[in-house]
Amino acid sequence: MTRHAPDHPFDIALQLQPAGPDRYSGQTSAAYWNMVGPFGGTTAALALQAVLRHPDLLGEPLSLTVNYAGALVSGAFTVGARAVRTNRSTQHWTVELLQNDADGQPLITTTATVVTAARRETWSVNDTPMPTVSAPDSSAALPQVPGVEWIRRYEMRPIEGGIPRQWDGSGDSSLTRLWMRDNPPRPLDFCALAAMSDIFFPRVWLRRARQVPAGTVSLTVYFHASAQQLATAGDDYLLGQARAQ
Amino acid sequence: MTRHAPDHPFDIALQLQPAGPDRYSGQTSAAYWNMVGPFGGTTAALALQAVLRHPDLLGEPLSLTVNYAGALVSGAFTVGARAVRTNRSTQHWTVELLQNDADGQPLITTTATVVTAARRETWSVNDTPMPTVSAPDSSAALPQVPGVEWIRRYEMRPIEGGIPRQWDGSGDSSLTRLWMRDNPPRPLDFCALAAMSDIFFPRVWLRRARQVPAGTVSLTVYFHASAQQLATAGDDYLLGQARAQ
């Protein structure tokens, strides 16, 4: 069987080859490079992707936790993904990303857990109402940042709480709202949503209006939408919101 | 060296015996029994406890994710806790709880990940201000629930969003605020805080004013306080808040 080769940079970054039971191999993507390693969103999406393409998969993702143990270096990596428990309607996965160190020993760079489930039609209400915000075309897209390649892979249109223009310590809020989508546009799916969860610059930059070294250490995503609901979003803009606690 | 035997039911529930490298054994606690298994809060605390008493531990907990793969049955269990990566100031742990099935085969009941770190003195601000609420003694303590033992182990004083008195489908908010502490009182620490994170009854009960079957599937706790800060809380009441999204 021939597979249709995906040509979107995100699909290329998510390509995994079977490498034995519960094991896949992949290559880091220069298109999503951050300053000292890949964009954490792609790493989260890869952990999820290994589960979603696993032959044992039951249902759709409910939750994903990714812990960034160490930066990946450019090159080959391995993903281990194992269904450690399969119930009637839920399934529990443990995932790890590994790269060989200088001595050829596998080193864990990322740990993750995923819960998947057969979604059932049930009572549902949105308890976080959609805020009243301006339309995407009324905000300018964020400019590119020299040397930070992954930012070019997203179109981000801040509504409020954009990156401070003056780093003068004057920040007083940590709320960011922005319209976001892949660049070039790509239909929304679970992996794209997982990646976009790591799109927000560190809250402390906004709250302090001061740039301090910061990186994502751990990230949890709860998926409240089905694959079908995500598909209806197509490649339109998505409203993203972040706030510190 | 003799260890002082803890006599608080929570400390008894958290007792773990070394059972080989990266391995501990424990016993479920009748004092924290829920309807079909232990209170999920104790399970979360046990996953954390295995890390906190591990000889390789670096620093204090930053984050904890617990996935409830299957209910524990009454009796013995094993906890595996492994430091999969230790960096200069952060450490990444994978944890699992196991029980033997009817055929004596180990079955994973719980998966967890923990990130610990050497906390440094750094800029800090509370971005979620303490809400204005009434004092603990102005709310009545929740009554006990026949057949649900763990509820007796906490003193819960709802301020708003208590368990509906009439199950008539009239709910319109999912916010609960309550004062809470161990019963009998016990000094606050990371494990107690992890356990209390699962104290809230399902949000859907409140939002719908309708009791539907629901259980915790996955829980993530971010610790924003140091051991020293928790210790200053002593055994006083803690304000808990929960809201659905």
Specify the pLDDT at position A76.
Answer: 97
Asked if B153 and B236 sit in the same domain, the reply is yes
- Give the strand pairing for B154-160 and B90-100: unpaired
B217 with A111: Cβ contact below 8 A: no
Q: What's the mean per-residue pLDDT of chain B? A: 89
Tokens 């601000």 locate to B125
A218 with B115: Cβ contact below 8 A: yes
- Mean pLDDT in residue range A209-231: 85
CA distance A114 to A39: 20
Which tops the pLDDT comparison, A214 or B50? B50
- Which among A203, A180, A61, A175 is positioned nearest to A118, based on CA atoms? A61
User: At A227, which helix (H) or strand (E)?
Assistant: helix A227-233
Taking every pair of Cα atoms in chain B, the longest distance, rounded to a whole number of angstroms, is 59
Q: Which of B218, B223, B224 to mutate to test the interface with A (most CBs of A within 10 A)?
A: B218
* Residue B234 pLDDT greater than 80, yes or no: yes
Tens-place pLDDT, residues B102-120: 899 999 999 999 999 998 7
Asked if B107 and B179 sit in the same domain, the reply is no
Least confident piece of the model among A60-64, A174-178, A184-188: A174-178
* Residue A213 pLDDT greater than 80, yes or no: no
* Residue B126 pLDDT greater than 80, yes or no: no
CATH number of the domain to which B197 belongs: 2.40.160.210
pLDDT confidence band for A17 (50 / 70 / 90): very high
- Which among A85, A97, A104 is positioned nearest to A50, based on CA atoms? A97
* Residue B41 pLDDT greater than 70, yes or no: yes
State what percent of residues in chain A have pLDDT above 70. Answer: 92
* Residue A168 pLDDT greater than 90, yes or no: no
Q: Would you say residue A77 lies in a domain?
A: yes
Asked if B152 and B91 sit in the same domain, the reply is no
DSSP line for chain A: -PPPPP-SHHHHHT--EE-STTEEEEE--GGGB-SSSB-HHHHHHHHHHHHHT-TT--SEEEEEEEEE-SPPPSSEEEEEEEEEEE-SSEEEEEEEEEEE-TTS-EEEEEEEEEEEE---------SSPPP----GGGSPPPPP-TT-GGGGGEEEEEEES-S-SS-SS------EEEEEEESS-----HHHHHHHTT-SPPHHHHHHTS-------EEEEE--S-HHHHHHHTTS-EEEEE---
Q: Would you say residue B152 lies in a domain?
A: yes
Asked if A95 and A23 sit in the same domain, the reply is yes
Asked if B90 and B186 sit in the same domain, the reply is no
* Residue A174 pLDDT greater than 90, yes or no: no
Set of chain A residues whose Cβ sits within 8 Å of the Cβ of B112? 113
* Residue B214 pLDDT greater than 80, yes or no: no
* Cβ partners under 8 Å of residue B93, min gap 6: B51, B54, B81, B82, B83, B84, B113, B114, B115, B116
- Which among B169, B181, B158 is positioned nearest to B237, based on CA atoms? B181
Question: B residues 178-217 near A, CB within 8 Å?
Answer: 203-204, 207-208, 212, 217
Asked if B96 and B176 sit in the same domain, the reply is no
For CA atoms A230, A232, A238, A240, the dihedral sign is: negative
pTM: 0.89
CA distance A101 to A105: 5
* Residue B165 pLDDT greater than 90, yes or no: no
B115 with A84: Cβ contact below 8 A: no
Q: Do the Cβ atoms of A75 and A100 come closer than 8 Å?
A: no
Q: Would you say residue B158 lies in a domain?
A: yes
* Cβ partners under 8 Å of residue B105, min gap 6: none
Q: Would you say residue A220 lies in a domain?
A: no
Specify the pLDDT at position A1.
Answer: 41
Which tops the pLDDT comparison, A237 or B128? A237
Min Cα distance B44 → chain A (Å) is 15
- Which among A163, A221, A215 is positioned nearest to A40, based on CA atoms? A215
**Boundary (domain end) residue, out of B89, B117, B145:** B117
Range of the structural domain that residue B108 is part of: 10-117
Asked if B109 and B154 sit in the same domain, the reply is no
pLDDT confidence band for B127 (50 / 70 / 90): low
- Mean pLDDT in residue range A124-148: 83
Which tops the pLDDT comparison, B171 or A139? A139
pLDDT confidence band for A243 (50 / 70 / 90): confident
A96 with B84: Cβ contact below 8 A: yes
pLDDT confidence band for B85 (50 / 70 / 90): very high
Specify the pLDDT at position B217.
Answer: 86
Asked if B173 and B213 sit in the same domain, the reply is yes
The three-point CA angle A136-A138-A140 to 5° equals 85
Q: Would you say residue B209 lies in a domain?
A: yes
Tens-place pLDDT, residues B132-158: 889 999 888 888 888 899 999 999 999
Asked if A17 and A106 sit in the same domain, the reply is yes
Least confident piece of the model among A113-127, A180-194, A223-237, B212-226: A113-127
Q: Do the Cβ atoms of A39 and A56 come closer than 8 Å?
A: no
Asked if A151 and A235 sit in the same domain, the reply is yes
Asked if A145 and A233 sit in the same domain, the reply is yes
Q: Would you say residue A221 lies in a domain?
A: no
pLDDT confidence band for B2 (50 / 70 / 90): very low
- Identify the three-state secondary structure at position A24: strand
**Boundary (domain end) residue, out of B117, B150, B180:** B117
Domain count, chain A: 2
Question: For residue B109, what is the nearest residue in chain A, using CA coordinates?
Answer: A85
Specify the pLDDT at position B123.
Answer: 65
Specify the pLDDT at position B1.
Answer: 40
- Mean pLDDT in residue range B25-51: 96
* Residue B163 pLDDT greater than 80, yes or no: no
* Interface membership of B118 toward A (CB under 8 Å): no
Dig out the tokens for B158 from the structure.
Answer: 């709802």
Asked if A86 and A182 sit in the same domain, the reply is no
Which tops the pLDDT comparison, B135 or A6? B135
Q: Would you say residue A98 lies in a domain?
A: yes
Set of chain A residues whose Cβ sits within 8 Å of the Cβ of B108? 84-85, 92
